[in-house]
Structures are given as C-alpha cells and as structure tokens.
Amino acid sequence: MLDAARLRADFPLLQRLENGRRLVYLDNAATTQKPEAVLSAILDYYHSTNANVHRGAYGLAIRATEAYEAARERVAGYLNAWATEGVVFTRGTTEAINLVAGAYGRATVRAGDTVVVTAMDHHSNLVPWQILCQEKGATLRMVEITEDGRIDLSDFGLALERNPKIVAFPYVSNALGTVNPAAQLARLSHAVGAVVVVDGAQSTPHLKVDVQELDCDFYALSGHKMLGPMGSGALIAKPQLLETMPPYHGGGEMISKVWDDHSTYNKIPHKFEAGTPNVEGAVGLAAAIDYLARLGPDRIAEHEQALARAAIERLAQIEGVTVYGPRGPRDHRAGVVSFTYGDIHPHDIATILDQDGICIRAGHHCTQPLMRRLNVAATARASFYLYNDLEDVDALAGSLVKAGALFGYVPA
C-alpha cells in the first residue's frame, strides 16, 4: 500500500481538524483535496506567467500560451491520447459530454436513430443524451444492470442489435464503484458501427487509463476529481472526429475568419475552446498529473481497492448495513463503497459521521435511475483516495456503530 500518512502531509487542508477531530475525508468521488504542488503551480502561474493565451504577441503572453499548451501535452501524454490536438480543455466531464452530444450528436443523430446509455450513468452522461434524442426524435436505450451492480452484458448485446449511432457508458460508476469492462464494451459497440463515449470522471483519478488501448472515440474527465483545480477537465477525442464536428460554442479564438453573416473556424482543438480558457485550471491539472504519475496509477488503484475491501469487510460485520455494488474479483470495484444502514436516512448517517470529523456523501449521487433500480432514494457513500488509510476505515466503521446505537440498531 502507499504511505498515506506521508502523502497526507502534502495536502494542507488535510492537516486541519474538523469538529475538533482528525479530518477523515471520504468524499473523493465528489472532489479530491489538492496537494501543495498543485496549489503552488497555480500561484506560481499567477506570480510569473499570467496573460491571456493565443492572443498577445508580447513575451508574457507567449509564455502563458506555452504553459497552457504544455498542460495540454501533459494531459495527452498521461492518457496516451491519439494526438495532442485531440485534447480539448473543458470545465470538466459534464461540459465534455455536452460538447460531444451538442456537436457530434447534433450533427449525426437523426430521427429514428438510437443512442445507448446505461442505468448506472451519472446524470452528466444521461441528460445531454436525453436532450439530444428529444430534439432529434431519436430513441434513448438504457442498458440494465445486474443484481450486483454491473452492466448487464446480455442486455447490452440486445441494445446493440438496434445498431445505435452512439454508445455512452461510465468506465467507473460513481455510485457503486463498479469498474466496467470498457475495452470490451467499446469493441462490441464498434462492431455495430457505433461511436463510443466513455465517461472517465471516476476512472482517470484512480486507474491507469490508455484511451488508445481502450479504443473509445471520446473520453471525458474532470480535473478536480484527480487532485486538480475545480473547473478544469478535458475531452479527449479521435482528432478525425473532432475535425468533422461543427463547433459547440461560438466566440473568440474558435474562429478563423469572421464575416458579417458567417464565419470559418479555427483548427482543432481551438475550434472547441471559445473564449478565454481556464489557464490556471490547465496548469493546475498538469501539476496534478505530475503528482499522480510520480506515484503511479496502478499503485493508487491497488491502494484504494485495498481500502475499499477493508471497509466492505468492516461494514459487513455491522448488522443492518447493506453494501451495494460488485463483490467478486478485486479489480471490478474501485475505491467507492455505497451503503445503507437499516432505515437510517443516509443524510442522518452523514451528519452523525460529520460530528466525528468524517466526510462522506449521502444522496442519489446524480444517479436517480440507478437508485430506482436499487430500490432506495439515497445511499451513504465513502470514497477513498491515495491519502486515506486503514485508520480512516476504522474511523468510518467506529462512527457507524455509534450512529447505529443512536438509532437503536446496536447496543450503545
């Protein structure tokens, strides 16, 4: 396992006490804390380099542009993108998927076509496709999940019989922790001629991702879930697809020539980056990637999976607790543990844990169709990252037992 105690020292916020207790931050699927290296990269950018990018002819503006474009290369390298110009900076996964639905989807999906999503998709990888299908008169086909929270491969096969134009799915479920067989799903989808969109919000921070090996067509990620700043993220796409797509947003920098009544557009990726971009976000994301690359994504995955297994074992010993998501092989679940405790409302659980300095998320996790299939309105969710350790698992289990006692589940 990683030396989490040493890593914690890199994160200023994790040095703070919460309600007088050691801060146990277990809401990493929502957003992660930021190491000093990321914070100082942002500060350093503003201290030494800040100017608008791709616009100025003076030295400072050129250096700002270089920093921005170096960040793009860093993202491309970390995910083995098809080409650096296939990396479009966005505000995060949500904007990246909306870009694909709004530009690629709008241009290619017609009435009567099918778009495939899954019942475990986050609203960000569902609602944009709903909007597109409603606008076009296309069918949205939702693939069911198995009892233990995996994509039902036989239903996936049935959905593909409709020869969908687009197939979208999450690599890792934010609500269940399921690691989906993304390369297999992409292969099956390509065999029927579909374009594949992978929601990588929860995979990029936690797994080694190689988009070329995955062989998807579009891959979306959020910087803030991988130690980077809020409002940073990217769409990684096959450049030939980006070339054929109409623009998404109109404005500065995405144009080549503007006439009174029409415009021609800039080359990719700039065609999709209208307006002043989030340069500090890109610079911070590059610093985050440096940090993750130093540790190694495989070691990070192993560390989190070990913590999730330990947490599931501890929670299984508490009568009344139900853990959702896959059991089976260890690499089928990331460091996310979603659970309910009898009829205690997940919000009550989160509030009680908070008193012990433990941060978890409670709610539907922006996956309402999934919650319906689990027959719950909400779950409590602990999600681990590289700076968590077994002490955090102990704290979670201990505080849950206390919550149970308060609600009459176990003797006080």
Near ligand C6P in 46-105, by CB under 6 A: 92-94
29 vs 185, which CB is nearer to ligand C6P? 29
Nearer to ligand C6P, 49 or 173 (CB): 173
Residues 181, 157: Cα–Cα separation, whole Å:
14
Nearer to ligand C6P (CB atom), residue 337 or residue 401: 337
Task: Decide: is 30 part of the binding site for ligand C6P (CB under 6 A).
Answer: yes
Residue list 167-186, contact with ligand C6P (CB under 6 A): 170, 174
Catalytic entry in 133, 216, 359, 366: 366
Asked if 278 is part of the footprint of ligand C6P (rule: CB under 6 A), the reply reads no
Q: Which of 4, 26, 168, 201 binds ligand C6P (CB under 6 A)?
A: 201
Does 35 participate in binding ligand C6P (rule CB under 6 A)?
Answer: no
Q: Measured from the CB of residue 96, what is the shortest distance to ligand C6P in angstroms?
A: 8
Stretch that binds ligand C6P, among 18-26, 261-269, 360-368, 396-404 (CB under 6 A): 360-368
List the one residue out of 197, 217, 222 whose CA is nearest residue 288: 222
| Chain position whose Cβ is nearest to ligand C6P | 174
Give whichever of 83 and 127 is closer to ligand C6P, judged by the CB atom. 127
- 216 as an active site residue: the answer is no
> Residue from 202, 278, 388, 399 that binds ligand C6P (CB under 6 A)?
202
Could you say whether residue 350 binds ligand C6P (CB under 6 A)? no
Out of 366, 371, 382, 400, point to the residue binding ligand C6P (CB under 6 A). Answer: 366
Which of the residues are catalytic? 366
Q: Which residues bind ligand C6P (CB under 6 A)?
A: 29-30, 92-94, 122, 124-125, 170, 174, 199, 201-202, 222, 361, 365-366
